[in-house]
Amino acid sequence: MFNSRIMERKDFIKKSVWGSLVAYVAGSFNNKVSAINRLATSNYRGVEGVLSPTNTHMVGNGFQVMNYFPNGKGFQERMSPFFLLDFNAEVNFPPSELSRGVGVHPHRGIETITFAYKGGVEHHDSKGNHGIINKGDIQWMTAGGGVLHKEYHEKNFDKNGGAFEMVQLWINLPKKHKMTPAKYQSIPHQTKPKHTLDGNMGVVHVVAGEYQGVKGIASTFSPVHMYDMHLNPGADFKFHLPAGYNSGILVVDGDINVNGHDAPENHYVQLKNEAGDIHIKASNKTTLLVLSGEPLNEPFVGYGPFVMNTEAEIHQAIEDYNQGKFGFLQD
Ligand code: MN
């Protein structure tokens, strides 16, 4: 999604009520090495912070999102390779004759992944890809060297209105894959490989990476684990993620306790980079998005819809876009 607020974001962080939390997490990043070196005093992976939902802003006229990875290098390095997490928590859209969403805009250097939890989203891009996602479906677009796309509410959803809930996640591409050809992976919910938790506790749908030997469906350009977890009331289980991977959990619906920390609906749990059990308890029907990735450890420059390694590459992206090298897409 095009985020024109990106350059104002430093001010946003200063003014934001949760700025102190962000500063806290960024500060913890500086202590990461000592945390990794420290001998684990328990078998539990530490919780670095539980971020509260923040103010929302509109992206286009179709997405009312909270941003959990505010700009400013601290957090984006902290969650590398994940670069942006926009969450449209459940809202009700009235019926509309107008189509609502975000018009044609470019991307380069990243992947944009859209998760539909409620409602429908339609995508078109300049490579000729087209997809509609509804409850549980994912569209995974690799912008790579450059693509134009537009993202709108699905037409019937526009007409009828209703509950709408979705996530858009950006994954930064490693330097060596920045200019890979654009591509599109359509991931209907029923195609996600799954692990069923014992005792009717729920299901872990494996989007990327691996869970208990079940391999995910999406291909990625750097090592990533990504789980769509649907838990039943009373779920109580443990799992692991690699100690050095930047890892977090978004509570989309319901509420959880993670290693003794309460995380209600619409909160985001940042885990420490250390080994240990991640012990989850859910008291209600709960949906989680679990993200874990190997940090890229490369310099990056983000400018609106482009994320590259140097400023010169950002200038090149703007020039290529202005010269029409990203292709054509009808608005
Ligand atoms: Mn976009």
What digits encode the pLDDT tens for the residues 209-254?
999 999 999 999 999 999 999 999 999 999 999 999 999 999 999 9
Fold type of domain 192-295: Jelly Rolls (2.60.120)
Nearest alpha-carbon partner for 186 in 142, 250, 155, 221:
142
Rounded distance from Cα 257 to ligand 1 centre (Å): 33
What digits encode the pLDDT tens for the residues 179-190?
999 999 999 999
Rounded distance from Cα 149 to ligand 1 centre (Å): 6
Rounded distance from Cα 156 to ligand 1 centre (Å): 21
What digits encode the pLDDT tens for the residues 188-206?
999 999 999 999 999 999 9
Rounded distance from Cα 170 to ligand 1 centre (Å): 9
Q: What is the pLDDT of residue 73?
A: 60
Helix (H), strand (E) at residue 248: strand 246-253
Using alpha carbons, list the distances in angstroms from residue 305 to 58, 109, 321.
16, 9, 11
Per-chain mean pLDDT for the chain: 89
Q: What is the pLDDT of residue 70?
A: 66
Rounded distance from Cα 227 to ligand 1 centre (Å): 22
Q: What is the pLDDT of residue 231?
A: 98
Rounded distance from Cα 329 to ligand 1 centre (Å): 13
Helix (H), strand (E) at residue 156: helix 155-160
Q: What is the pLDDT of residue 75?
A: 82
Rounded distance from Cα 1 to ligand 1 centre (Å): 3
Would you list the domain boundaries of the chain? Answer: 49-188, 192-295
Q: What is the pLDDT of residue 22?
A: 39
For residue 15, pLDDT over 50 is answered with no
Same fold, 49-188 and 192-295: yes
Rounded distance from Cα 253 to ligand 1 centre (Å): 24
Phi–psi pair at 123, nearest 5 degrees: -130, 140
For residue 21, pLDDT over 70 is answered with no
Rounded distance from Cα 126 to ligand 1 centre (Å): 12
Phi–psi pair at 28, nearest 5 degrees: -65, -30
Neighbours of 208 (CB within 10 A): 24
Q: Domain 49-188 is in which class?
A: mainly beta
Rounded distance from Cα 233 to ligand 1 centre (Å): 35
For residue 108, pLDDT over 70 is answered with yes
Rounded distance from Cα 326 to ligand 1 centre (Å): 14
Rounded distance from Cα 169 to ligand 1 centre (Å): 10
Rounded distance from Cα 211 to ligand 1 centre (Å): 29
Neighbours of 241 (CB within 10 A): 24
Rounded distance from Cα 12 to ligand 1 centre (Å): 21
Q: What is the pLDDT of residue 1?
A: 52
pLDDT-based confidence at residue 41 (cuts at 50, 70, 90): low
Rounded distance from Cα 300 to ligand 1 centre (Å): 19
Lowest mean pLDDT among 26-30, 129-133, 204-208: 26-30
Q: List the structure tokens of 269.
A: 């749990």
Map residue 316 onto helix, strand or coil.
helix
d(CA 120, CA 134) in angstroms, rounded, equals: 4
Burial bucket for residue 293 (CB in 10 Å: 0-12, 13-18, 19+): buried
